[in-house]
């Protein structure tokens, strides 16, 4: 009899969802060194353009929250202005709550987070971020000169993955995704790590995984993978990271704009966990938080 794990990992749509997520992780990984170095350069550049940023620090313990940063002291006002000067779309919603203004003078990453989507507050460096956060930084900070449209296309694909109700994608979607992500990687060819990522992504997206959960515990045709065999354990780790990101995204959406489709996603997730008991244990805490949000929404409706 096939185990829950085996059925799940061999479901075409679900498998493609995981493969697509793995590719995004590879993109993120190959950019870490680059983005860290570039943000340090950008931070130095900002310090060099404005003497107030260099010579004064915030003594007011200014704090930002959500999309607002009001009542800032004169030093933070200067930082805010300089950071916005380098934003490629100032009409965008800015998630000031991502960062601690107090740390702007000494921490380049706190500046980087202004150009990112919500939910970055506890992420202290690129290694804690997902691919979407780094790609948004490339789009919205004018220090970077990539072809924005290529990045935006991948961000759209990433959002499809994270907003997929059933955590599945179609073969057609996957084929388009494969093209889109490989086109993006051409932009990063001057980054040495991107070459290896490109090869891995080509292999992952062109091979048909048949996951054998057995004594051998490995993925079919593993000889194709240059980084060595992908074990079921490796795939399960990708799966857990991906579900965690999906759940976090759902939590943010439920908290921000409780639309029927978000509640629908929550119900589908509950069903999914019912059929995959081992995951139910892993995501128990996250599920409780989602239940809490759901309850709060339902109570709100009654009022």
Q: Does 253 bind Zn ion (CB under 5 A)?
A: no
Choosing from 5, 7, 47, 73, the residue that interacts with Zn ion (CB under 5 A) is 73
Q: How far is the CB of 219 from Zn ion (least distance, A)?
A: 52
- CB neighbours of residue 71 within 10 Å: 11
Choosing from 24, 30, 62, 155, the residue that interacts with Zn ion (CB under 5 A) is 62
Q: 6 or 100, CB closer to Zn ion?
A: 100
Binding mask 9-48 for Zn ion (x = CB under 5 A): ----------------------------------------
H or E segment to which residue 211 belongs: strand 211-212
- Non-local CB neighbours of 55 within 8 Å, separated by 6+ positions: none
Choosing from 24, 31, 39, 76, the residue that interacts with Zn ion (CB under 5 A) is 76
Q: How far is the CB of 51 from Zn ion (least distance, A)?
A: 17
Q: How far is the CB of 96 from Zn ion (least distance, A)?
A: 12
Binders of Zn ion among residues 220 to 239 (CB under 5 A) are: none
Q: 62 or 154, CB closer to Zn ion?
A: 62
* Residues 271/272/273/277 CA torsion (nearest 10 deg): 110
Q: How far is the CB of 73 from Zn ion (least distance, A)?
A: 3
- Non-local CB neighbours of 271 within 8 Å, separated by 6+ positions: none
SS3 category, 173 = helix
8 A C-beta contact, residue 217 and residue 232: yes
CA distance 94 to 65: 11
- CB neighbours of residue 153 within 10 Å: 18
Beta bridge partners of 87: 141
Phi, psi of 242 (to 5 degrees): -70, -45
Q: How far is the CB of 92 from Zn ion (least distance, A)?
A: 23
Choosing from 58, 134, 141, 253, the residue that interacts with Zn ion (CB under 5 A) is 58
Interacting residues with Zn ion (CB under 5 A): 58, 60, 62, 73, 76
């Amino acid at each position: 009899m096939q185990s829950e794990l085996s059925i799940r990992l061999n479901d075409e749509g679900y498998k493609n969802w995981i493969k697509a997520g793995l590719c995004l992780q590879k993109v993120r990984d190959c950019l870490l060194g680059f983005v860290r170095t570039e943000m340090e350069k950008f931070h130095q550049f900002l310090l060099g353009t404005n003497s107030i940023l260099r010579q004064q620090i915030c003594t007011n313990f200014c704090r930002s929250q959500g999309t607002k940063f009001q009542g800032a002291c004169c030093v933070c006002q200067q930082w805010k202005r300089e950071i916005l000067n380098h934003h490629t779309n100032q009409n965008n919603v800015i998630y000031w709550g991502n960062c601690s203004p107090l740390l702007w003078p000494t921490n380049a990453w706190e500046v980087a987070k202004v150009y990112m989507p919500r939910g970055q507050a506890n992420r202290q460096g690129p290694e804690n971020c997902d691919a979407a956060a780094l790609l948004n930084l490339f789009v919205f900070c004018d220090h970077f000169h990539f072809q924005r449209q290529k990045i935006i296309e991948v961000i759209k694909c990433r959002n499809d993955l994270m907003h997929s109700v059933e955590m599945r994608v179609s073969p057609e979607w996957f084929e388009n995704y494969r093209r889109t992500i490989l086109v993006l990687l051409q932009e990063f060819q001057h980054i040495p790590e991107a070459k290896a990522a490109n090869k891995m992504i080509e292999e992952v997206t062109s091979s048909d995984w048949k996951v054998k959960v057995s004594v051998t515990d490995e993925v079919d045709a593993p000889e194709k993978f240059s980084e060595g065999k992908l074990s079921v354990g490796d795939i399960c780790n990708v799966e857990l990271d991906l579900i965690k990101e999906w759940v976090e995204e759902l939590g943010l959406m439920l908290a921000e704009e409780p639309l029927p489709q978000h509640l629908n996603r929550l119900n589908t997730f509950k069903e999914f966990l019912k059929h995959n008991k081992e995951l139910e244990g892993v995501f128990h805490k996250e599920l409780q938080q989602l239940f809490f949000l759901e309850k709060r929404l339902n109570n709100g409706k009654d009022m």
